[in-house]
């Protein structure tokens, strides 16, 4: 599996984030800064949401996901930025961040397209492994995400995985955990090196 782990390098060395004091930097500024890392590669729904007037607060004003969808989003997020020597996506509150974006920042069409993607991915996991994505083994989850990443799941939008990845990165690196505890992050764009030693990154799909 290490050959398909996305490791983006700047030159030959990893870029190390500085510690950020959340008391001096508003999360909205962090969102804008994190979005800039993607540049022209920022998926359209996120670009539109960030360009619109930002609602107050960073908690969803109402539920946008069902219980099962929350479990699925949590499982996807945790495979993108898993718990290693530092907390993973779930500990950083990424699933709640994604629900907030869907509930309060996304246009209805974009929100519905994302929800449809969740359903397609969940259905694919159930067909392939006879269980929900969240209940599948980590290796099976990685295989499903790899198929999504490479556009090999019928009916799933080609950018669905990238959409999930960008939402997860944004949620993580604008959280207090992401800013203060997780400091190794290699931003996009950069050079793709599929043979870069995974032991030096210890992240799945997180570049």
Q: How far apart are alpha carbons 110 and 116 in whole angstroms?
A: 10
Phi-psi region for residue 57, left (φ > 0), alpha (ψ -120 to 50) or beta? left
pLDDT attached to residue 35: 64
Residue 22 lies in a domain: yes
Residue 207 lies in a domain: no
Q: How far apart are alpha carbons 31 and 78 in whole angstroms?
A: 20
Residue with tokens 């959280």: 175
pLDDT attached to residue 63: 83
Is residue 174 within 8 Å of residue 24, measured between CB atoms? Answer: no
Q: pLDDT tens across 143-180, in order?
A: 999 999 999 999 999 999 999 999 998 888 888 787 76
Residue 206 lies in a domain: no
Residue 84 lies in a domain: yes
Residue 205 lies in a domain: no
Q: List CB contacts of 3: < 8 A, sequence separation 6 or more.
A: 194, 195
Instruction: State whether residue 191 is helix, strand or coil.
Output: strand
pLDDT attached to residue 115: 96
Give per-residue burial for 21-40: e unless 16+ CB within 10 Å, then b.
eeeeeebeebbeebbebbee
Four-point Cα dihedral 71, 58, 168, 25, nearest 10? -150
Is residue 146 within 8 Å of residue 4, measured between CB atoms? Answer: yes
Q: Is the pLDDT of residue 196 over 50?
A: no
Residue 26 lies in a domain: yes
Residue 10 lies in a domain: yes
CB atoms within 10 A of CB 151: 13
The model's pTM: 0.70
Q: Is the pLDDT of residue 34 over 70?
A: no
Strand spans (E) along 96-143: none
Structural domain tally of the chain?
Answer: 1
Residue 40 lies in a domain: yes
pLDDT attached to residue 1: 34
Is residue 92 within 8 Å of residue 172, measured between CB atoms? Answer: yes
Domain that holds residue 6: 2-52+59-200
Instruction: Give the N- to C-terminal CA distance of the chain in Å, as an integer.
Output: 15
Tokens of 64: 């946008």
């Amino acid at each position: 599996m290490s050959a398909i782990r996305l490791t983006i390098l700047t030159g030959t060395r990893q870029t190390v984030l500085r510690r950020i004091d959340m008391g001096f930097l508003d999360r909205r500024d962090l969102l804008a800064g994190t979005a800039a890392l993607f540049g022209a590669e920022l998926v359209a729904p996120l670009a539109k949401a960030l360009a619109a007037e930002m609602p107050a607060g960073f908690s969803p004003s109402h539920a946008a996901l069902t219980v099962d969808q929350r479990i699925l989003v949590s499982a996807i997020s945790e495979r993108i930025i898993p718990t290693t020597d530092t907390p993973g996506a779930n500990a950083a509150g990424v699933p709640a961040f994604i629900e907030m974006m869907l509930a309060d920042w996304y246009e209805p069409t974009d929100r519905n397209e994302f929800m449809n993607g969740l359903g397609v991915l969940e259905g694919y996991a159930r067909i392939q492994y006879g269980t929900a994505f969240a209940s599948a083994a980590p290796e099976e989850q990685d295989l499903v995400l790899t198929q999504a990443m490479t556009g090999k799941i019928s009916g799933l939008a080609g950018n669905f995985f990238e959409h999930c990845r960008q939402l997860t990165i944004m949620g993580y690196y604008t959280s207090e955990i992401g800013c203060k505890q997780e400091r190794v992050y290699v931003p996009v764009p950069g050079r793709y090196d599929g043979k870069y030693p995974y032991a030096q990154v210890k992240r799945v799909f997180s570049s």
